[in-house]
Amino acid sequence: MTTTGKNNFITPTLKFCIAGVFIPGFTAIFIFALQKGLTLLNIECSNSWTILWTLTAVGAVVAPIVFVRKINKWLSGEYSLITGKLLLFNFLEYIFLQCALAAFFTNGHTLCYVTDGQNGLEIVFTGWMALPILIMFSLAFDTLRKSFFEEKE
């Protein structure tokens, strides 16, 4: 079986990555809105960043595991694989990676209290850093798909 067709992971991810070059500012705004929501729950600002980074790091690890389990069900015929499911995975994993990687380049105190003119710009850059990781996931998913069909033959 070739990598074209309905069970292709690489092509839709590459298309998402093209869009991903232009959307990190929008997803960064979403991440900042989540942080503001946590502060509205009376969580101190820098602590809210720690919570977000922890949750998104866990999400970045768990989402591929869940997706691989779903791939196995889709490929075994229980579900049909549609591009929308891969797009949802790519979008969620993109946000998880974008936020979690920011913890390596800044800290909660800087994001909350330092006005150096670049507050949050690191989060845009980590969005771009997430794109090659998404491509690697899709390559791994495609390899998994290929090995699944080789086992069936």
- What are the tens digits of pLDDT across the range 120-140? 788 999 999 999 999 999 999
Tokens of 86: 């891969």
Q: Distance (Å, rounded) from C-alpha 115 to C-alpha 137?
A: 36
pLDDT, average across residues 49-53: 96
DSSP letter for each residue of 59-86: HHHHHHHHHHHHHHHHHTTSS---HHHH
Domain layout of the chain by residue ranges: 10-147
Query: Which tens digits make up the pLDDT trace of 87-109?
Result: 999 999 999 999 999 999 988 88
* CA-based max dimension of the chain: 61
Nearest to 49 by CA among 28, 64, 68, 63: 28
Tokens of 8: 């292709």
Q: 103 near 147, Cβ under 8 Å? A: no
Task: Quote the pTM value.
Answer: 0.87
